[in-house]
Copies of this chain bind each other. A is one copy, B any other.
């Protein structure tokens, strides 16, 4: 009998996985960056499902903000079901999949390759069908993922995206900054006792809203997905800009609201969103490295390390992963057996 769950073990493997990936994949990332420059890539399309789609969302902001590359998230059904796939032209088409098996994601890359576009894959399985369709592969080096709810492969996918972003950049400081991430994730894991206390308070939460924007828009999506998969909570991720365009109306005191507010360009806006939501009597948990922002929440989880904003998603998601784990334990379920789910999901 295993003493802890796969979910818990894999959460704690993250510092090591990210460190391994950053070292092993630097050259692959540089080769892909060189190909992007050499091919005169105009924009990128990223295809992924679930957790991998959230990693793509991070890439959308990162490549846009730091390398001025427009990024769209692909619509796989256009490739797997509808008859006439888009013409990619001078695009980079990037598939992200832990297993590299998803037929719809493979179909996007296969079509891109057929058209002669530049293709790349980020996957934990370099021998997978997805990798076979890619001109360039960045491998996650995460070891076998046994937990149904992905954690270590999510942050590894973020690290792969961040590594490519740094390789694309003309500023070598970006690569240096990345080296701080493994230690920062390790320090962030020390939040577990505080998270456990919040998980007790959250024992009967059944509706939840998670707000993040910019680089941490992906973080909001990923934490929401973890809470759904493991705790069956109706948890919805939003940018505060979208949230106040309508969904705000749902809020009442039955809601738990999580706000991801890392230091950076968006901090002021996240703080003003907290003020707006506090008027609605929902209880707010702030996840931030900034003391003034933390003080605006009823509950707080203080990120122990301040990273550059673009790297913050790799630490900001960790309290959410720990929360999913401790909530499922408080509720007496098995973290490794979420109802109705399988590890690899094959969709067209």
**Residues of chain A whose beta carbon lies under 8 Å from any beta carbon of chain B:** 42-43, 45, 49-51, 53, 60-61, 64-66, 68-73, 75-78, 81-91, 104, 149, 206-207, 213-214, 217, 225, 228-230, 232-234, 236, 239-242, 244-252, 265-266, 269, 280, 338-341, 345, 347-348
Query: Across the interface, do A75 and B61 meet the contact criterion of CB distance under 8 Å?
Result: yes
Q: A60, A75, A85, A233 — which one has the most chain B CB atoms within 10 A of its CB?
A: A75
Tell me which residues across on chain B come within 8 A of A69, comparing CB atoms.
Answer: 86-87
- 20 more CB-based (< 8 A) A-B contacts, given A42-B89, A249-B340: A43-B86, A43-B89, A43-B91, A50-B242, A50-B246, A64-B75, A65-B82, A69-B86, A72-B72, A72-B73, A77-B241, A81-B265, A83-B265, A228-B246, A228-B249, A229-B246, A229-B247, A236-B236, A244-B345, A251-B340
Query: Across the interface, do A242 and B83 meet the contact criterion of CB distance under 8 Å?
Result: no
Query: Across the interface, do B75 and A87 meet the contact criterion of CB distance under 8 Å?
Result: no
Given A78-B61, A149-B246, A266-B81, residue A234 in contact with residue B232 (CB < 8 A): no
What is the bound-complex CA distance between A65 and B345, given in angstroms? 25
Number of identical monomers bound together in the oligomeric complex: 2
Query: Across the interface, do A232 and B246 meet the contact criterion of CB distance under 8 Å?
Result: no
Of B72, B207, B251, which one neighbours A43 at CB under 8 angstroms? B72
What is the bound-complex CA distance between A266 and B225, given in angstroms? 25
What is the bound-complex CA distance between A204 and B40, given in angstroms? 55
What is the bound-complex CA distance between A242 and B221, given in angstroms? 13
Of B230, B249, B265, B269, which one neighbours A232 at CB under 8 angstroms? B249
What is the bound-complex CA distance between A43 and B66, given in angstroms? 21
Q: From residue A211, how far is it (CB to closest CB) to chain B in Å?
A: 13
Tell me which residues across on chain B come within 8 A of A90, comparing CB atoms.
Answer: 42, 89
Query: Across the interface, do B68 and A87 meet the contact criterion of CB distance under 8 Å?
Result: yes
Whose C-beta in chain B lies nearest to the C-beta of A341? Answer: B249
What is the bound-complex CA distance between A68 and B82, given in angstroms? 11
Q: From residue A297, how far is it (CB to closest CB) to chain B in Å?
A: 19
Query: Across the interface, do B228 and A247 meet the contact criterion of CB distance under 8 Å?
Result: yes
Q: A71, A241, A248 — which one has the most chain B CB atoms within 10 A of its CB?
A: A241
Tell me which residues across on chain B come within 8 A of A340, comparing CB atoms.
Answer: 248-249, 251, 280
Query: Across the interface, do B104 and A241 meet the contact criterion of CB distance under 8 Å?
Result: yes
Tell me which residues across on chain B come within 8 A of A78, comparing CB atoms.
Answer: 61, 64-65, 214
The 10 closest A-B pairs by CB, nearest first: A72-B72, A50-B245, A241-B347, A70-B86, A42-B89, A234-B234, A65-B82, A229-B246, A64-B86, A249-B338
